Amino acid sequence: MATQSNPYADFHRQCVEASQSWSEQLGDNLRWLDDARSEGRSLFAGLELPTRKTEAWRYTPIAPIVQGDILRLRTTESADAPQGITGDFYTLTFHNGQLAASNIDDSALEVIPFSSADAAGQALIKEYLGKTFDAARHPFAALNAGTLQDGALIRVRKDSKALKPVQIVHTADVSGEAASSYNRVIVVVESGAKLELLETYVDTHERKVFQNTVTEVFLAANSTMTHYALNCEGANQIHTGCVFIEQQGGSHYEQHAFATGGALKRRDINVKLLGQLASCKLNGVYLAGGREHVDFHTTIEHVAPHCVSEETYKGIINGKGKAVFNGRVHIHRDAQQSSAAMNNNNLLLTNTAEVNTKPELEIYADDVKCAHGATVGQLDDMALFYFQSRGITRSDAHRMLSRAFVESVMAEMEIETAHAYVLELAERFYNEGAQEATA
């Protein structure tokens, strides 16, 4: 026992203990994951929690997690959980971390919930579980491995496409004590197949919830996936989510990320371009106000030659909000003829808003095309006056200019119901910004 109290070390130890005791409470239907969980637990136990001195976490202190009193699972279910996006989707819902409902019925899709997998399903899940990442480098993915509650594997059969997009909703009760949940989603898109997937993390209002998720994506040759990652949690919520994507030759992956603020929201997106002519496109919009904190860390590894990556992230920060963008592009020695473009633009609406943006390029091949750009700016006074001189109030001008700033990225969301859903959340944010600015 340490005599000197260190909240991080204490929390770390409590996590390990909690994981142990939760594991013992699991139902028989999840016993088959015991080995994987204990492996994850020992990995996590051997890691140090990130501090300000950990480069990848330098601008994102994890104090809200450590001090959040969140080490509590909630297994009861109440009916007051918010829903995801209403639209023409297949929907699969995780409620308080447990798989609650699924209406997927499509010959192109195979869906295997961890909690109801038969022997063949378990074998298939084990084939993919944890294969995309090195847990030693991702402390919260390691935590997820050690505390795994439930999850689902979605497989799209070769050369086929589901009739509708699939939405996975991550929700929780809106009232009660602070609690946490740990889910895993595995997506396997077989060769030539196509998938549209939405992962929607909804606002549980006043309640403090820590959602820890890992999504592992395997794209076989010439497959295509469009992935909406919509982090719509509110100001009290904490989220650490990792998405790991492995792409074989000729596959295409596209992500539309959207994040409103939260007490702490950290998204790690890691793409490995493993086969020639694979391509990926990462789009993101983040909006942080009040005292919210949003952090996007992306890593794109060009392992194979002739691959293309493109990323565009735009953020608006208001009040005392903070945002972090770290975009790493790693071009391996054999990845000749790689093309990588990265852009990050930020708009600060107040003097107290903060953003830390950092491109990181590591290039070991000599015949590549790489471009990156990062900007941080404010609304232009002259532009605001231009609106006013045409009879438009300063607050309307504020709203229109904020909307315009992220419009080009938002407009690329092709699923109209999803686009409308995030636009509405964004409008609320612009209104707050306009009110604050003209108060």
Partner 1 sequence: MLSIKDLYARVEEKEILKGLTLDVKPGEVHAIMGPNGSGKSTLTHVLSGREGYDVTSGEINYFGQNLLDMEPEERAREGIFLAFQYPVEIPGVSNIQFLRTAMNSIRKHRGEEELDAATFLKLARQKIGMVNLDPDFLKRGVNEGFSGGEKKRNEILQMLMLEPKLALLDETDSGLDIDALQVVANGVNALRSPDRAVVLVTHYQRLLNYIVPDYVHVLANGRIVKSGGRELALELEEKGYGWLNLDDDKVA
Q: Which of residues 393-412 bind partner 1 (CB under 8 A)?
A: 393-394, 396, 400-401, 403-405, 407-408
Comparing CB distances to partner 1, the nearer of 75 and 435 is: 435
Q: How far is the CB of 404 from partner 1 (least distance, A)?
A: 3
Please choose, out of 96-104, 212-220, 275-283, 391-399, the segment that lies near partner 1 by the rule CB under 8 A.
391-399
Task: Report the alpha-carbon distance of residue 245 to residue 242 in Å, rounded.
Answer: 10
Q: Which amino acid is at 44?
A: F
Q: Does 347 bind partner 1 (CB under 8 A)?
A: no
**With CB under 8 A, what is the number of residues at the site for partner 1?**
22
CB nearer to partner 1: pick between 172 and 287? 287
Q: Which residue has the tokens 């990556």?
A: 309
**CA–CA dist 111, 343 (Å, integer):** 36
Nearest C-alpha neighbor of 155 from the set 117, 187, 199: 187
144 token code pair:
């997820």
Q: Which tokens sit at 263?
A: 């007490």
Compare residues 25 and 389 and give the one whose CB is closer to partner 1. Answer: 389
Distance between the two ends of the chain, CA-based, in angstroms?
53
**226 or 395, CB closer to partner 1?**
395
Beta strands 90-95 and 98-102 are: antiparallel
Given the structure tokens 């969140």, which residue do they identify? 70
Q: Does 388 bind partner 1 (CB under 8 A)?
A: yes
Q: How far is the CB of 350 from partner 1 (least distance, A)?
A: 18
Does position 53 bind partner 1 by CB under 8 A?
no
CB of 316 to partner 1, least distance (A): 12
Burial of 337 (0-12, 13-18, 19+ CB in 10 A): middle
Q: Is 438 in the site for partner 1 (CB under 8 A)?
A: no
- 50 and 62 in contact (C-beta within 8 Å)? yes
User: At closest approach, how far in Å is the CB of 394 from partner 1?
Assistant: 7
Rounded to a whole number of angstroms, the CA Rg of the chain reads 21
Mask for 364-383, x = binds partner 1 (CB under 8 A): ----------------xxxx
Instruction: Kindly state the smallest distance separating residue 408's Cβ from partner 1, in Å.
Output: 7
Give min distance, CB of 259 to partner 1, in A: 20
AA identity, residue 93: T
Instruction: Report in angstroms how near the CB of residue 426 gets to partner 1 at its nearest.
Output: 13
Which residue lies nearer to partner 1 by CB, 116 or 435? 435
**Residue 386 within binding range of partner 1, rule CB under 8 A:** yes
What 3-state class would DSSP assign to 416? helix
Pairwise CA distance, residues 298 & 233, whole Å? 20
Reduced to 3 states, what is the DSSP secondary structure of residue 54?
coil
Residues binding partner 1 (CB under 8 A): 380-383, 385-394, 396, 400-401, 403-405, 407-408
